[in-house]
Structure 1
């Protein structure tokens, strides 16, 4: 295809760098996009439709490449590109389990193929992770410890912005999409654009000297807020400990200790519902119920069968509360959340039951019966009751491959020292890996648009994690489209009609 953007010369690129020395400018010449690497390719969609595109692959996005296997990105430009200078760029990260991922090709079975079909430019970066290694001086070095995976995504975004006059698409309108740990990375990228906390790392990597902000963040089941995720998990699922979860006595002690720490954290967030009412530990579960009720009601409207045994309370006659959101303190939790996608509010008709409440303990037992729950601590278990590390303790480990605790709770239990605390270096790493630390009103670092999904039977993290993220963003004035899709397990890139209708709505 023909690139219609104005090509800039090496000399002009050096001028963009501003006050950088001539040596630095020459170094950043390595990051100038080369259109001559173009290759033609096509993708066959499930419908049988063929999408033709131009591929630019194997592009290094930093000048100081530590791991050449992962620190590259691929760019795909559809032949049907609608407008070179204004077409959004859909950036998909395939990070999962905080592991490394290579730069991949678009897939007809996920959002990358759909994005090409819709006419968007697609970028798929690789990034380092907990399992990425190189050999240095005869020794194995783990290259993907936190925050390196996040830094790689930021560097890839900077590459797109640095070459905005050369690469088709609009780098001012980057939409990042990720699932699970990738959803956490999407949340981090969306909340930390241009934050100074990352500058020293990015400079050392040789990332382009420009912005790493994004326009929108798509987060499927984000495994985030890691330093509070253990307590949130036990506070929510503790009701199942002696039932379907089958914890032993030692595990129950750990579960109870973690759960006891959660109320103070919930209260510290100062969250509010759509009516401005404070959300506290005392009424949080009623707030959670509103999201689950909305999910169940929408499922009934769409013809799903919901058994009577899982805690959903419904009437066969139209209730008289008119679909208005309930205050968090209402004991039956009826009503619907005050923000989310079109159709979230209950719509009553003659062909569906009316969901009016939920027995939360019974519903959580149902979720736990579908997929066994994680044992406590769910994320920072290393050395507490067992020595097996989790992906999260691996990613917070050291370059020698030794896992590390990232919460004071687990560190104290592993060392059997009630006075043990994390090092300052670890505290800082944990801080910059949590998007909740960067979301505030009018923060220029935060993306203006958010699409967040977490399945209504996804137990990979507590429901509190995505709900807190969505609520804090909404409270801070950002555009948030949030929902708990009914009967959906831990997964991403589903219901792509909804996703791309939303993308069209925020980009147009």
Structure 2
């Protein structure tokens, strides 16, 4: 038997595959009760984590790419014997929903495993997020999704796929262990942005036609909570934000990613901005204050967050206060800060931060424009491509400044479909109450303004946001899993 005995097939579950069969190609059954599993176990932290693995499940009836439109579901073995873990049972366990998306590339579903730190494959290994979640009693459902390198993976394919995977879980809630009304998403970088977008656009009708075309299950696609590490959101304004932070920082170390013997090789390549790039930076920076002010954001005390035409003001001081809070948490942990020239410490307490000096110390990683390249060279240009144009612009600035003759631009609707800010505050979506957002102080992939705006927009609309800038952390995620799961337990009971 592949499911806990108490989860019996119901008439509604049997009707999950009622979507019309495609005219050509294979139609997939969306009834989870028919899926086969294997029993697996992994030794982690001195305990044996036993679970049932349901892998490679196609989550839509009419997929365009079955390598990626699949989901792996893992259920603690205890739930097949009437047991409980961490206070959870087969009926009550929340569903942890981690995606493995990076750079808006195609992503296969994740698996529970022992993993070493990135860049140190021979170092000590520890449980990844999926394995730790299982050990703590969560059902794990890791979705794959299409990505920008294929014609059918352009925006908004990835978010449509994640929504379809959520719908699969909700439609099968009665025949599957775990509480699909408590789905907690998790992702890093582009995956973090999609985690945020998944939460912000819950049950929006904007995606309905695309979901129907894939034969997604007839169910709601809202989720319970969002965890997002270094989410690069608001892409159409991210270039402005980057130059607001890094304008005047002309030396850079740009990340170069290549394949060597089938392994991804990452290296930082130093350089200096050209005069043309400096000009682009000078033109982008002054655009950000007007945009930021148009959002009418406020801090936790209800004070307006604004910038003047020079890029100074209460919003900049807000970012500085977040950096001070990060430093103070580090001091409270009894750890050394080093001697950053942008931070003032008095009597053992972090007192103030200088944002301009901080930007210089952090260092530039991207050349302007950071996301919508005037030469159509970025991953985001490819993300907003189409079946006929592999790469397109998605901002008016880069379209006007394009070095490509006859370069095309993505339509406004597609750009909106990829931005959670477009949905926060709307009455026609179901947004989760609880959010956890992390962006490290050493992250140079995007401006700190991006995550700060996301957090403030959510808070201003009444949502509960656990937002912090972890000290000394670069662009990455899942580095504080104990804290993440403490937060998940607190919000889900």
Q: Give the TM-score, by structure 2 length.
A: 0.86
CA separation of 1:236 and 1:12: change in aligned 2, threshold 3 A? closer
- Per the alignment, residue 395 of structure 1 pairs with 383
The partner residue of 1:284 within 315, 318, 331 is 315
CA contact (8 A) 1:408 1:421 kept: no
Q: Which residue of 1 aligns with 2:447?
A: 462
For residues 108-166 of structure 1, the C-alpha deviation after alignment (integer angstroms, 9 at most, x for no partner) is 332111100101000111110012x4xxxxxxxx2210000111100000000000001
Q: C-alpha separation between the residues in 2 aligned to 1:306 and 1:248?
A: 34
Q: 1:28·1:208 contact (CA, 8 Å) conserved in 2?
A: no
Structure 2 partner of 1:307: 338
Q: Contact between 2:376 and 2:393, CA under 8 Å: does it hold in 1?
A: no
For the Cα contact (< 8 Å) 2:437–2:466, is it kept in 1?
yes
Question: 1:256 aligns to what?
Answer: 282
TM-superposed CA distance for 1:2, in Å, is 5.1
Kept in 2: contact 1:193–1:446 (CA 8 A):
yes
Q: Retained in 2: the 8 A contact 1:271–1:471?
A: yes
Distance in 1, matches of 2:484 and 2:350, equals: 26
| Aligned 8 A contact 2:3 2:33 in 1 | no
Counterpart residue number, 2:122: none
Q: CA deviation at 1:6?
A: 3.5
**Equivalent residues, number:** 447
Distance in 2 separating the partners of 1:304 and 1:285: 26
User: Of residues 108, 114, 121 in structure 1, which corresponds to 2:139?
Assistant: 121
Contact 1:90 1:174 in 2 (8 A): yes
Deviations 1:92-114 (A, max 9, x none): 10000000011232123321111
1:373 and 2:365 aligned: yes
Q: Does the CA-based 8 Å contact 1:13-1:29 persist in structure 2?
A: no
* Alpha-carbon distance in structure 1 between the residues aligned to 2:239 and 2:3: 52
- Matched position secondary structure for 2:247: helix
In the alignment, the residues of structure 1 paired with residue 414 and residue 290 of structure 2 have an alpha-carbon distance, to the nearest angstrom, of 23
In the alignment, which residue of structure 1 is the partner of 2:52? 54
CA contact (8 A) 2:292 2:306 kept: yes
| Corresponding residue of 1:356 | 351
Alpha-carbon deviations, 1:199-249, whole Å to 9, x = none? Answer: 111011110111000000100000111000000000111142379984221
Match of 2:492 in 1: 507
Quote the Cα distance in structure 2 between the aligned partners of 1:304 and 1:22.
Answer: 60
In 1, are the aligned partners of 2:224 and 2:432 still within 8 Å (CA)?
Answer: yes
- 2:446, 2:59 → 1: CA distance? 32
User: In the alignment, which residue of structure 1 is the partner of 2:478?
Assistant: 493
1:210 aligns with 2:209: no
Could you say if the C-alpha distance between residues 315 and 395 of structure 1 is closer, same or farther in structure 2, counting changes exceeding 3 Å?
same
- Residue 391 of structure 1 deviates from its aligned partner by 1.1
Secondary structure of the structure 2 residue equivalent to 1:264: helix
**Secondary structure of 2:173's match?**
coil
Deviation at residue 5 of structure 1 after TM alignment: 3.6
Task: Give the secondary structure class of the aligned counterpart of 1:59.
Answer: strand
SS of equivalent residue, structure 1 residue 272: coil
Q: Structure 1 CA distance, aligned partners of 2:403 and 2:273?
A: 23
Deviates most, 436-445 or 63-72: 436-445
Aligned pairs (5 A) from 1:88-99: 88-99=94-105
Aligned to 2:402, the other structure's residue is in SS state helix
Q: Distance in 1 between matches of 2:8 and 2:401?
A: 59
Which of 71, 75, 85 is the matching residue for 2:69? 71
State the 1:8 CA deviation: 2.6
Aligned ranges 1:376-455 → 2 under 5 Å: 376-381=368-373, 384=374, 387=375, 389-400=377-388, 402-414=390-402, 426-440=411-425, 444-455=429-440
What SS is found at the alignment partner of 1:80?
helix
Q: Which residue of 1 aligns with 2:163?
A: 154
Contact 2:3 2:175 in 1 (8 A): no
1:107 equivalent among 107, 110, 113: 113
Q: Deviations over 1:462-506 (max 9, x none)?
A: 001111001110110011111000000001011111111100000
1:138 alignment counterpart: none
CA gap of 1:28–1:164, structure 2 versus 1, over 3 A, is: farther
Residues of 1 paired with 2:110 and 2:414: CA distance? 28
Q: Which residue, 64, 87, 90 being the options, matches 2:93?
A: 87
Runs of 5+ consecutive residues of structure 2 not aligned to the other structure: 115-126, 254-270, 308-312
Q: Report how far residue 40 of structure 1 moved.
A: 0.2
Given that 1:31 and 1:63 are in contact with CA atoms closer than 8 Å, whether structure 2 keeps it comes out as yes
Q: How far has the Cα of 1:399 moved from its partner?
A: 2.1
TM score, norm. by length of structure 1:
0.83
CA-CA distance at 1:364 after TM superposition: 1.3
Aligned to 2:9: 8
1:226-277 CA distance string (max 9 Å, x none): 0000000001111423799842211111001111110111001111011111
Structure 1 position 30, deviation (Å):
1.4
Separation (CA, whole Å) in 2 of partners of 1:378 and 1:102: 27
